[in-house]
Structure 1
Amino acid sequence: MASGSNWRSKLLGTLEGQLQLATYTAVLIGFTGATTTGLWLSNRNQIRNGEAELQANAEHLSNNLVAHDHLGQNHSANDWNPAIQAEVRQELRDHSSVRTTLWIELADGRLVLPTFGHIAIPMQMMRATMQAHKKDQNTRLITVQGQDYLTLLSRSYPTGERLWSSAKATDTGRTQNEFLGWMILIGVGSMSLSLVTITAMVRRIVRPLLQLSERSAALTADTLNQDPIPEMTAAPKEVRQLASTYAELMERLALSWNDQRRFVSAVSHELRTPLTIVQGYLHRTIKRSKGLSDDERRGLKTAEEESIRMRMLLDDLLDLSRSDSGQLQLNQEVVDLEQLVVKVADLSRSNLSDHRLEVVNTIPEQETSEALADPGRLQQVLLDLIDNAAKYSAQNSLITLLLQPHPDGIAIDVKDEGIGIPESDLPHIFKRFHRAQNSSGSSGTGLGLSVVALLMSAMGGEVRVQSKEGEGSCFSVILPKPPTTSSAKS
């Protein structure tokens, strides 16, 4: 069932398959129609030729009978004596042949047959012919003892005599069989050649569309200005026009994207300074003012927290903008991850009063915990991951910072006991503005994890995630060890 479904999907689910199916169907219908029409015309021509031959023989015989005053012009078979009857029989014999037979039916039903010779006279065919025709003079095709005969009532005389003629149709059937055989042979050959040609032409038509599809699949914000659409001079006019329109669309998207990045960068820079000043004033007011009521102090504290959140959002936007424009700069150096993790944990505990935070170090004592990283950016990454874990975890749940060896260097795992991430969201979790399906009740912009992935890539490391919905998540930050450490170990 699966293979049948795949076959139907390949044939009917693609433009190439539909074009091929439509063309193959048209060729098959055309071949069938041409063969059927050819057979019908062949049979019709054979009958017409046989009818013309019978008419010619009968006309010539009738003229001879009239010329000798045997029939017609008030002459009838009643006037025949034995000598005239013998002469008429000879005339019938002269106008008959191996294939054709002519005879005369008298008014009283007796038959005047051709002079008997080495050719047998088919009496059963004659009786069947006279029974089939009765009074009509149309050509008929009858079968007697497996033999086809083309029969005709050639002439009816006023005195009651009737002139009959017939011809074997064996040659007609054989000719039709030969014609059909040649039609099948030639048709199959032509059809095979047509199918091969059609397949090649359809693929040639569809190839540019596939190129456009592949180009679209690989399109990202970073490649808008790269890899322009190649010239498709051999493609059909409509496909060339589509490619041109697509290229123009990419140019407009690239221009719009550049304008957007410049706008975000400019606005972020302009907002960061006054927001920092506001945050500073709020912090000093909370610390130094003695006459604030509890409600006023809570309000100022909330404003400070919101200003910090806004500054973090602006920092994320600035990092993304710098990365897009190639201006993101990091200071790579050897960092003691054990000390940095402890520092990050201390900073986080002051803001995670409703969560438990635990640090676990499983690196053996004989090994170093040093790695290559930008300490400030790495601290930002870990704080973002801890904040993200707390946001999607229940109160008093445990968040674990696990420092451990890794085949690619050293890993720092941030584990939580939160709501987890649906399996369908895992491939997209590090994309910009993407939020998991089960995160609708929490605040967020969908930028945090994309910035984490961006910074880790810039530091030569990576971030991975393992999660199961309802059981929590584990984000692993993997950093390379310093070359000197690798050399010493080797």
Structure 2
Amino acid sequence: MRSADAGHFNRSYIIFAVTALSLVLGYTGWMMSITGQAERYLWPSVLFVFLFALICVLWLGVMRRRMANIVDTLDQIVEGAIRGQARVTGYSETNLSSLENKLIRYIDLSFHHERKIEAEKNKIKELISDISHQTKTPLSNIVLYSQLLAEQSGLEGDTQQWVKQIRTQADKLDWLIQSLIKMSRLETGIIAMHPDSTSVIDTITRGISQIYRQAEQKGISITIDCDTAIHAHHDPKWTSEVLFNLLDNAVKYSEPGGRIHISVAAYELFVRIDIADTGIGIEEDELHSVFKRFYRCKRTASFEGVGIGLYLAREILSAQGGYIKAASKPGQGTTFSVFLLADGQAKV
């Protein structure tokens, strides 16, 4: 039995013994005061108290030993059931034997369930791998043939435009398939995060580098307010993808000449990254839905997209112990707040 449990039982035994002794002494003293013959009843009373105390001590010792044996037996039952070892209590008709049988059945069911989940995860992993492999070659061929067609001379204006559309739609299809694959891997736990203490400014720069060209083409300025000394516990690869998704939305839903401002603040538990834009904004009643899978706001109906980016961002951050929030005013822009675990706050 563990020392903490033993100490708890010892305190219980002492309380019981003191209570019983107090009752006996009180009763004896009361009887002596009533009879008024203290000398005559003194030694029989002392003997009675002694024998009663001895019986209590012996009874408590037996009960303590039995409790210790029961706890040790339960510990052996659980350990043996986990390891698949032979039964401890056998097949006797006792409460312990019944409990052992139930524990073995429960652990067997748990192991069976875990194996089933693992098998299903492996099947999904193989399916995702097959989808990725089977679609990669056809899409690559479509892109290649569209490039060859675009390089052909003598194509009429409409034909040239159609070829460009083929290339554009092929790129969108490739992006959609890759996003769906990432989403499936995240949901099934196939993708493993590797968070570590990493510079936040480096991760932000990595995300901006993927969207800077599109922002420049629309004349959208991107400013950063971040102390280079700030570090957070996160996976820089996947977190930069989160920031890219948020920045991609900011560029997409902002008018030419708009602004994007990124600010970072370090707190005791979290590091907060705010990405504020001057885009079309989000209705207040839709803020709780924007992170749902395949959800698209009413204002974005005329824009390209399928509603996966924000869902992926939330899942990636959640897998690292972080989270994301959104605040917006229609027509005035949106601010997405990314919260990463501060150094020293990594979840074990």
TM-score of the pair, normalised by structure 1: 0.40
Q: Which has the larger radius of gyration?
A: 1
Give 1:316's aligned residue. 179
Give, in whole Å, the separation in 1 of the partners of 2:306 and 2:147.
Answer: 29
Give 1:467's aligned residue. 328
Q: Is the 8 A contact 2:132 2:178 kept in 1?
A: no
Give 1:331's aligned residue. 194
State how many pairs are aligned: 224
Give, in whole Å, the separation in 1 of the partners of 2:200 and 2:322.
Answer: 14
Alpha-carbon distance, 1:379 to partner: 1.9
Give 1:402's aligned residue. 263
Q: In structure 2, do the counterparts of structure 1 residues 453 and 484 end up closer, same or farther at CA, with 3 Å as the change threshold?
A: closer
Query: Mapping of 1:78-477 within 5 angstroms?
Result: 265=128, 268-274=131-137, 277-278=140-141, 281=144, 303-352=166-215, 353-363=217-227, 368-477=229-338
Alpha-carbon distance, 1:376 to partner: 1.9
Q: Is the 8 A contact 1:425 1:436 kept in 2?
A: yes
Q: Is the 8 A contact 2:323 2:340 kept in 1?
A: yes
Task: Provide the identity percentage.
Answer: 22
Q: In structure 2, do the counterparts of structure 1 residues 326 and 473 end up closer, same or farther at CA, with 3 Å as the change threshold?
A: same
Pick the structure with more helix per residue.
Answer: 2
> Structure 1: where are the runs of 5+ without partners?
1-257, 486-490
Q: In structure 2, do the counterparts of structure 1 residues 437 and 262 end up closer, same or farther at CA, with 3 Å as the change threshold?
A: farther
Alpha-carbon distance, 1:465 to partner: 0.6
Alpha-carbon distance, 1:459 to partner: 1.8
Amino acid aligned to 2:140: I
Q: Is the 8 A contact 1:264 1:317 kept in 2?
A: no
Q: Is the 8 A contact 1:373 1:479 kept in 2?
A: yes
Q: In structure 2, do the counterparts of structure 1 residues 282 and 473 end up closer, same or farther at CA, with 3 Å as the change threshold?
A: farther
Q: In structure 2, do the counterparts of structure 1 residues 354 and 301 end up closer, same or farther at CA, with 3 Å as the change threshold?
A: farther
Q: Is the 8 A contact 1:400 1:414 kept in 2?
A: yes
Spell out, residue by residue over 1:6-39, the C-alpha distance to the aligned partner (whole angstroms, 9 max, x if none).
xxxxxxxxxxxxxxxxxxxxxxxxxxxxxxxxxx
Spell out, residue by residue over 1:344-364, the C-alpha distance to the aligned partner (whole angstroms, 9 max, x if none).
32331212311413132243x
Q: Is the 8 A contact 2:220 2:257 kept in 1?
A: yes
Secondary structure of the corresponding residue to residue 449 of structure 1: helix
Alpha-carbon distance, 1:410 to partner: 1.9
Alpha-carbon distance, 1:303 to partner: 4.4
Secondary structure of the corresponding residue to residue 351 of structure 1: helix
Alpha-carbon distance, 1:284 to partner: 7.8
Give, in whole Å, the separation in 2 of the partners of 1:338 and 1:445.
Answer: 29
Q: Taking CA–CA contacts closer than 8 Å with sequence separation of 6 or more, which of the two structures ends up with the larger relative contact order?
A: 2
Alpha-carbon distance, 1:484 to partner: 9.2
RMSD: 3.7
Q: Is the 8 A contact 2:226 2:263 kept in 1?
A: yes
> Structure 2: where are the runs of 5+ without partners?
1-120
Query: Mapping of 1:7-18 within 5 angstroms?
Result: none
Q: In structure 2, do the counterparts of structure 1 residues 470 and 328 end up closer, same or farther at CA, with 3 Å as the change threshold?
A: same
Give, in whole Å, the separation in 1 of the partners of 2:313 and 2:233.
Answer: 16
Give, in whole Å, the separation in 1 of the partners of 2:141 and 2:248.
Answer: 23
Amino acid aligned to 1:320: M
Which deviates more, 444-453 or 318-327?
318-327
TM-score of the pair, normalised by structure 2: 0.54
Give, in whole Å, the separation in 2 of the partners of 1:284 and 1:333.
Answer: 42
Give, in whole Å, the separation in 2 of the partners of 1:323 and 1:346.
Answer: 24
Amino acid aligned to 1:459: Q
Q: Is the 8 A contact 1:413 1:476 kept in 2?
A: yes
Q: In structure 2, do the counterparts of structure 1 residues 271 and 438 end up closer, same or farther at CA, with 3 Å as the change threshold?
A: farther
Alpha-carbon distance, 1:332 to partner: 2.1
Alpha-carbon distance, 1:457 to partner: 0.6
Amino acid aligned to 1:316: S
Secondary structure of the corresponding residue to residue 480 of structure 1: strand
Give, in whole Å, the separation in 2 of the partners of 1:347 and 1:477.
Answer: 18
